[in-house]
């Protein structure tokens, strides 16, 4: 097997495997995230050093050998500890593919937000090696991913979402924001759709999603922007169509959510999408 990529910051994508996206950061001291979430299931391996990890109400200092897990829509952030070196690898998994692999109708969230199971860590790290290796055939990569996620259910406990957390009012608000995320929205407009008062909506929305409706909208705009960048659209066009005032504003918010610039995220390379060192 070929050596792992040595880039300080690398993204991996393969058009033949559109349900998977990965990233690798060799030195995370300058890679900082704001609170954000993904529509995907996300799982990562801390490969060196230590960092601070927040997921909902859970806060951990995680070290090398730890696996971190984020269920879809979990508000989370992982950041350096006082210039302590750390590195990590993250994988983002499409939910339709994952539920098909696990042979279930609907995804049930995992209870753990972090695990120090050495077998789980080694299995995940080996799968990353396969994905990032440009010499490995697509079928081998797909088989490695299917085997890993097929085994994941056997190693981790799942939880049922409490009915109180699935209120239709908040779901209507979230769906409305998602559908109209690229245009300017007013809180009263979202409240009218949800059937809740504006003040109660903000409190209930934060309790459900870990962020305010405005933060949720920004998060959705960045997810929209990521999709458009993967399609190859120019950054300035993506910025404006995503609802940002200009490219500079888009870049600032993008870095807060993705910990990379739009150019770094979009830049293709052989076998994986590689990014140069983050620019100030």
Question: Are residues 117 and 177 part of one domain?
Answer: no
Question: Do β-strands 9-12 and 273-275 pair in parallel, antiparallel, or remain unpaired?
Answer: antiparallel
Residue 247, pLDDT > 90, answer yes
Question: Are residues 199 and 127 part of one domain?
Answer: no
Question: Are residues 200 and 145 part of one domain?
Answer: no
Q: Is 156 a domain residue?
A: no
Roughly what angle, to the nearest 10 degrees, separates helices 187-194 and 168-179? 130
Q: Is 238 a domain residue?
A: yes
Residues in the chain: 280
Q: What is the CATH number of the domain that holds 13?
A: 2.60.120.280
Comparing C-alpha atoms, which of 230, 232, 260 is closest to residue 33?
A: 260
Question: Are residues 181 and 260 part of one domain?
Answer: yes
pLDDT at res. 161: 55
Q: Which stretch of 22-26, 59-63, 269-273 has the lowest confidence by average pLDDT?
A: 269-273
pLDDT tens per residue across span 75-87: 999 888 887 888 9
pLDDT tens per residue across span 25-56: 888 777 778 889 999 999 999 999 999 999 98
Question: Are residues 145 and 167 part of one domain?
Answer: no
Give Cα 108 distance to the centre of its chain: 17
Structural domains counted in the chain: 2
Question: Are residues 40 and 130 part of one domain?
Answer: yes
Question: Are residues 185 and 75 part of one domain?
Answer: no
Question: Are residues 172 and 118 part of one domain?
Answer: no
pLDDT category at 8 given cuts 50, 70, 90 is: low
Q: What's the token pair of residue 66?
A: 């730890």
Report percent pLDDT > 90 for the chain: 54
pLDDT at res. 7: 57
């Amino acid at each position: 097997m070929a050596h792992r990529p040595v880039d300080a910051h690398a993204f991996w994508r393969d058009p033949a495997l559109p349900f998977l996206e990965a990233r690798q950061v060799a030195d995370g001291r300058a890679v900082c995230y704001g609170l954000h979430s993904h529509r995907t299931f996300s799982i990562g391996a801390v490969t060196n050093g230590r960092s601070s990890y927040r997921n909902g109400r859970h806060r951990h200092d995680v070290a090398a050998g730890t696996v971190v897990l984020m269920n879809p829509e979990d508000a989370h952030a992982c950041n350096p500890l006082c210039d302590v070196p750390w590195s990590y690898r993250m994988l983002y998994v499409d939910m339709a593919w994952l539920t098909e692999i696990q042979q279930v109708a609907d995804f049930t969230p995992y209870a753990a937000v972090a695990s120090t199971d050495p077998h789980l860590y080694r299995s995940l790290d080996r799968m990353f090696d396969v994905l990032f290796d440009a010499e490995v055939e697509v079928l081998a990569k797909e088989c490695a991913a299917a085997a890993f996620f097929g085994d994941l259910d056997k190693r981790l406990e799942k939880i049922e979402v409490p009915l109180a957390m699935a209120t239709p009012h908040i779901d209507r608000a979230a769906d409305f924001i998602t559908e109209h995320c690229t245009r300017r929205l007013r809180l009263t407009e979202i409240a009218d759709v949800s059937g809740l008062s504006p003040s109660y909506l903000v409190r209930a929305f934060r309790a459900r999603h870990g962020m305010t409706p405005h933060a949720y909208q920004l998060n959705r705009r960045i997810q929209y922007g990521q999709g458009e960048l993967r399609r190859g659209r120019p950054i300035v066009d993506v910025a404006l169509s995503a609802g940002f005032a200009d490219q500079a504003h888009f870049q600032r918010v993008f870095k807060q959510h993705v910990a990379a610039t739009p150019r770094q995220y979009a830049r293709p390379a052989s076998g994986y999408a590689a990014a140069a060192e983050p620019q100030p």
